[in-house]
């Protein structure tokens, strides 16, 4: 038998879009944004103002969080959502307030959008007692269940079945609610996604599964970690699927509105690939050698917040001065949150044992 | 002797074994182009290319199992997990397959595979990123488990692990990758699996501590020395197989023992050592064996809670005071 030359053997990942190798690499190809204006989407001018404020809050909150982290005010991992704010905002405005949302560890934007106050959020980052998870979860585990935000989860793909379970309970209880599960492109390679998709369609669970494809799973470009277009995973499981521009809040809103209606009416799962970009490193310790500055700048040109700001001005909904007012208000609110977090108390040491079990006086093995 | 960081010692071991043996290869998340999440594989892609230094998707069960199959079929894989906390997804491949295939097939299959990566907690990473898994894997027959505390041990033991014909779990600590230590520059430096080491001689009490806890014990010993208590520290280095004779010999000398373990208390490493000592050296004990472990509680994020949760030098000193009846 002929001996194979070993230098032909190569396990370098060759996934989606690899034919573009050599050209300037782009994280993701964005589909065209929707052409619809706010009125035909059913959004009022007040909605737009609120959405702008919300997106701006998410960004300023994280920029300030980053500063505090660099000052050493808190430790652990810090994964920033900056660049992806249109997805949380468009979704939360499109869904009902009692629809269930669950996400991965890049969760600050989601939490703020679902009613975690900047104070509760910042205090959580600082590990303080008034934090949304009493300082026990930290950056990766924001949650506010009373607002149907079931939290951020740190094991890649681990929460995808749980999102299915939220939908299962809703169907079981026939309460008309749906669940929406968000995860990164890295998570689509996990078995958990495939098992969940199969069961979700088998049992017709009223669930939206949405990948926030920001082009990278840590330092690995999507084209190097996954084969075929991600949205095509839907076909394999007989699910509907579509690709959405995640740098445009109107596009996310429009898609989510339609999909939520479909899922609610037909009680069956739906898969969305929402394409976006993260401006910051994977986490604070990432030197980002895997991408170019030019690539980052390309996406910053289609920044979701700038985009909405331009729209607000072009449509004469807000004047520059009114936008400035919103931004100042948000900035104050975030700075207050930082102050609050800084001055808040850490949990009592006895809190270490709280919340482990449902019992007031649980047994611990010594 | 050369001063090396933990991560450099690990890289040297892998590098030397890859150079020595064509069948050795490494795969895992971000090990190639990113040079390793904790830089333990830095430069290996440049040296060995895409055939032998392989980036994987985030598919722990998939690539661990591919490693198992490749090992069955004659290769010698090193599978890096970004941490053992994520390797739980691959536990089926490790526990149900890697550990059992040889036995189930009447010895037809050999399984020369190393699963390695950071174990236990780093600073404030929350509940899902802070579990120590050495005790858990040691529970299962067919697996060897190593959790080293110093760069020198890491180099010598990792080389042994790669040459071992059994599945070996080789654990590191995320907080220790930058820690420096003298590493033997002996050519082909090998430490046999299953041999512990007396890292500090003392006559009053034996403290058994491995991995990150060795450093906690060392701190406690320095403190206790000032009070006139001479602590002997035994680092078993290998959790399984365990160098029990070394521990027993030490207890015959000191008559007292404290086990320091980074895992939870129930059915863990410290519980096992406590049992083995009472079985083998009951007549030599002047006090019941004590253990210092994590509480029976998940990892909290908040700094003061996290600090209270982790075993500390103070906890070790308290335990030593207890077994020496000094409080
Ligand atoms: C099961 C598991 N494996 C590995 C990791 C380490 N890790 C954390 S995030 C990450 C990259 C995930 O990227 P992606 O899913 O695309 O999400 P994004 O960070 O882009 O939001 C990796 C490898 C983990 N947390 N869990």
> Are residues B147 and B119 in contact, defined by beta-carbon separation less than 8 angstroms?
yes
Q: How many angstroms separate the CA atoms of B125 and B208, rounded?
A: 27
pLDDT reported for residue A10? 84
- Using the predicted structure, report yes or no on whether residue A5 has a pLDDT greater than 60: no
A186 CA distance to ligand 1 centroid (A)?
Answer: 6
Classify burial at B10, counting beta carbons within 10 Å of its beta carbon; exposed 0-12, middle 13-18, buried 19 or more. buried
Q: How many residues does chain B have?
A: 327
- Work out how many CB contacts closer than 8 A connect A with B: 149
Contact B301 A356 (CB under 8 A): no
Average pLDDT over residues B206-224: 98
- Using the predicted structure, report yes or no on whether residue A21 has a pLDDT greater than 70: no
Query: Considering only alpha carbons, which residue of chain B is nearest residue A220?
Result: B30
B121 CA distance to ligand 1 centroid (A)?
Answer: 17
- Among A16, A191, A218, which is best to mutate for testing ligand 1, by the most ligand atoms less than 8 A from CB? A218
Which one of B129, B172, B210, B232 is the catalytic residue?
A: B129
What residues contact residue B201 under an 8 Å CB cut-off, 6+ apart?
Answer: B230, B232
State the nearest Cα–Cα gap between B60 and chain A, in angstroms. Answer: 8
Q: How many angstroms separate the CA atoms of A183 and A317, rounded?
A: 34
Using CA of residue B128, residue B132, residue B133, residue B135, what is the dihedral sign? negative
Contact A155 B29 (CB under 8 A): no
Q: Does A194 touch chain B (CB under 8 A)?
A: no
Contact A191 B309 (CB under 8 A): no
pLDDT reported for residue A9? 87
Instruction: Please give the mean pLDDT across all residues of chain A.
Output: 94
pLDDT reported for residue A16? 54
Query: Considering only alpha carbons, which residue of chain B is nearest residue A138?
Result: B301
A187 CA distance to ligand 1 centroid (A)?
Answer: 7
> Are residues B87 and B94 in contact, defined by beta-carbon separation less than 8 angstroms?
yes
| A-interface mutation test, from B305, B314, B319, most A Cβ less than 10 A away | B305
State the nearest Cα–Cα gap between B288 and chain A, in angstroms. Answer: 15
State the nearest Cα–Cα gap between A73 and chain B, in angstroms. Answer: 10
Average pLDDT over residues A224-239: 94
Q: Is B222 in the pocket of ligand 1 (CB under 6 A)?
A: no
Q: Is A214 in the pocket of ligand 1 (CB under 6 A)?
A: yes
Contact A356 B297 (CB under 8 A): yes
Residue nearest atom 8 of ligand 1, based on CA coordinates = A156
pLDDT reported for residue A352? 96
Query: pTM score, two decimals?
Result: 0.96
Query: Considering only alpha carbons, which residue of chain B is nearest residue A123?
Result: B302
Query: Considering only alpha carbons, which residue of chain B is nearest residue A74?
Result: B303
How sure is the predictor about A20, in pLDDT bands with cuts at 50, 70 and 90? low
Average pLDDT over residues B149-169: 98
Average pLDDT over residues A314-324: 97
State the nearest Cα–Cα gap between B35 and chain A, in angstroms. Answer: 10
pLDDT per residue over A250-294, tens digit each?
999 999 999 999 999 999 999 999 999 999 999 998 989 888 899
> Are residues A276 and A212 in contact, defined by beta-carbon separation less than 8 angstroms?
yes
Contact B57 A226 (CB under 8 A): yes
> Are residues B23 and B33 in contact, defined by beta-carbon separation less than 8 angstroms?
no
Q: Cα Rg for chain B, rounded, in angstroms?
A: 20
State the nearest Cα–Cα gap between B275 and chain A, in angstroms. Answer: 16
Collect all residues of chain A within an 8 Å Cβ-Cβ radius of residue B50.
10-12
Collect all residues of chain B within an 8 Å Cβ-Cβ radius of residue A187.
58
B214 CA distance to ligand 1 centroid (A)?
Answer: 31
As given in the structure block, the two tokens for residue A284 are 């604070």
Average pLDDT over residues A93-117: 98
Q: Is A286 in the pocket of ligand 1 (CB under 6 A)?
A: no
As given in the structure block, the two tokens for residue B178 are 């930058």
How sure is the predictor about A14, in pLDDT bands with cuts at 50, 70 and 90? low
Contact B265 A153 (CB under 8 A): no
Contact A74 B124 (CB under 8 A): yes
What are the C-alpha distances in Å from A316 to residues A247, A304, A311, B86, B305?
A: 22, 18, 8, 51, 51
Contact B29 A74 (CB under 8 A): no
Instruction: Please give the mean pLDDT across all residues of chain B.
Output: 97
Query: Considering only alpha carbons, which residue of chain B is nearest residue A133?
Result: B301
Contact A76 B301 (CB under 8 A): yes
* B139 is a catalytic site residue: no
- Using the predicted structure, report yes or no on whether residue A24 has a pLDDT greater than 50: no
* B129 is a catalytic site residue: yes
B131 CA distance to ligand 1 centroid (A)?
Answer: 18
> Are residues B221 and B173 in contact, defined by beta-carbon separation less than 8 angstroms?
no
Q: How many angstroms separate the CA atoms of B73 and A55, rounded?
A: 53
Q: How many angstroms separate the CA atoms of A150 and A142, rounded?
A: 8
Contact B301 A136 (CB under 8 A): yes
Collect all residues of chain A within an 8 Å Cβ-Cβ radius of residue B27.
11
A157 CA distance to ligand 1 centroid (A)?
Answer: 8
Using CA of residue B237, residue B240, residue B245, residue B248, what is the dihedral sign? positive
| Cα angle: B299, vertex B11, A79; to 5 degrees | 40
A188 CA distance to ligand 1 centroid (A)?
Answer: 10
pLDDT per residue over B95-152, tens digit each?
999 999 999 999 999 999 999 999 999 999 999 999 999 999 999 999 999 999 999 9
| B-interface mutation test, from A5, A9, A12, most B Cβ less than 10 A away | A12
Classify burial at B239, counting beta carbons within 10 Å of its beta carbon; exposed 0-12, middle 13-18, buried 19 or more. buried
pLDDT reported for residue A18? 52
- Using the predicted structure, report yes or no on whether residue B287 has a pLDDT greater than 70: yes
Residue B292, H or E segment: strand B290-292
Residue nearest atom 17 of ligand 1, based on CA coordinates = A184
Atom of ligand 1 nearest to the CA of B89: 1
Query: Considering only alpha carbons, which residue of chain B is nearest residue A285?
Result: B37
pLDDT reported for residue A223? 86
Closest CA to A191 of B237, B326, B62: B62
- Using the predicted structure, report yes or no on whether residue A23 has a pLDDT greater than 70: no
| A-interface mutation test, from B52, B90, B126, most A Cβ less than 10 A away | B126
- Using the predicted structure, report yes or no on whether residue A354 has a pLDDT greater than 90: yes
């Amino acid at each position: 038998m002929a001996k194979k030359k070993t230098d032909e053997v190569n396990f370098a990942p060759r996934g989606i879009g690899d034919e573009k190798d050599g050209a300037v690499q782009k994280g993701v190809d964005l589909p065209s944004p929707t052409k619809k204006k706010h009125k035909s989407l059913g959004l009022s001018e007040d909605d737009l103002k609120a959405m702008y404020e919300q997106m701006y809050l998410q960004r300023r909150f994280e920029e300030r969080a980053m500063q505090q982290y660099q000052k050493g005010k808190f430790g652990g991992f810090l994964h920033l959502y900056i660049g992806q704010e249109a997805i949380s905002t468009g979704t939360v405005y499109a869904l009902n307030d009692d629809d269930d949302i669950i996400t991965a560890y890049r969760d600050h934007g989601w939490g703020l959008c679902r009613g975690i106050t900047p104070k509760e959020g910042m205090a959580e980052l600082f590990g303080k007692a008034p934090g949304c998870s009493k300082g026990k979860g930290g950056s990766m585990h924001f949650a506010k269940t009373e607002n149907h935000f079931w939290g951020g989860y740190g094991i890649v793909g681990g929460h995808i079945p749980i999102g299915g379970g939220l939908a299962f309970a809703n169907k079981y209880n026939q309460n008309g609610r749906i669940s929406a599960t968000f995860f990164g492109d890295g998570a689509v390679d996990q078995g958990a996604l495939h098992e969940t998709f199969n069961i979700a369609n088998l049992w017709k669970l009223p669930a939206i599964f949405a990948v926030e494809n920001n082009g990278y799973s840590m330092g690995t470009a999507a084209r190097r970690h996954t084969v075929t277009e991600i949205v095509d995973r839907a076909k394999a499981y007989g699910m509907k699927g579509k690709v959405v521009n995640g740098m445009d809040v109107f596009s996310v809103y429009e898609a989510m509105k339609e999909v939520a209606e479909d899922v609610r009416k037909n009680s069956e799962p739906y898969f969305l690939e929402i394409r976006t970009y993260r401006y910051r490193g994977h986490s604070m310790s990432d030197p980002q050698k895997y991408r170019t500055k030019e690539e980052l700048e390309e996406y910053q040109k289609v920044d979701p917040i700038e985009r909405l700001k331009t729209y607000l001005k072009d449509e004469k909904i807000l004047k520059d001065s009114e936008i400035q007012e919103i931004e100042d208000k948000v900035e104050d609110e975030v700075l207050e949150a930082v102050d609050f977090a800084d001055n808040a108390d850490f949990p009592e040491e006895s809190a270490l044992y709280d919340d482990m079990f449902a019992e007031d006086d649980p047994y611990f093995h010594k | 002797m050369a001063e090396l960081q933990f991560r450099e010692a690990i890289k040297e071991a892998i590098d030397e074994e890859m150079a020595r043996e064509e069948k050795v290869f490494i795969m895992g998340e971000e090990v190639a182009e990113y040079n390793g999440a904790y830089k333990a594989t830095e430069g290996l892609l440049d040296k060995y290319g895409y055939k032998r230094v392989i980036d994987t998707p985030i598919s722990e069960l998939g690539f661990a199992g591919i490693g198992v199959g490749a090992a069955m079929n004659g290769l010698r894989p090193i599978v890096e997990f970004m941490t053992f906390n994520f390797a739980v997804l691959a536990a089926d491949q490790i526990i149900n397959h890697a550990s059992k295939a040889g036995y189930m097939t009447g010895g037809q299959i050999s399984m020369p595979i190393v699963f390695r990566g950071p174990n236990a907690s780093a600073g404030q990473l929350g509940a899902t990123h802070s579990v120590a898994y050495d005790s858990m894997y040691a529970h299962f027959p067919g697996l060897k488990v190593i959790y080293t505390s110093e760069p020198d041990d890491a180099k010598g033991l990792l080389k042994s692990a790669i040459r071992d014909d059994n599945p070996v779990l080789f654990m590191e600590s995320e907080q220790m990758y930058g820690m420096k230590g003298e590493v033997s520059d002996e050519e082909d430096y090998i430490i046999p699996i299953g041999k512990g080491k007396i890292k500090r001689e003392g006559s009053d009490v034996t403290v058994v501590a491995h991995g990150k806890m060795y450093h906690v014990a060392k701190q406690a010993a320095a403190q206790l020395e000032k009070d006139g208590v001479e602590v002997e520290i035994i680092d078993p280095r290998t959790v399984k197989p365990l160098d029990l004779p070394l521990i027993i010999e030490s207890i015959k000398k000191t008559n007292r023992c404290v086990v320091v373990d980074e895992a939870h208390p129930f059915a863990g490493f410290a519980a096992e050592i406590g049992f083995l000592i009472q079985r083998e050296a009951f007549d030599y004990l002047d006090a019941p064996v004590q253990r210092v472990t994590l509480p029976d509680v998940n990892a909290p994020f908040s700094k003061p809670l996290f600090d209270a949760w982790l075993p500390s030098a103070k906890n070790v000193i308290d335990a030593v005071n207890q077994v020496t009846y000094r409080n």
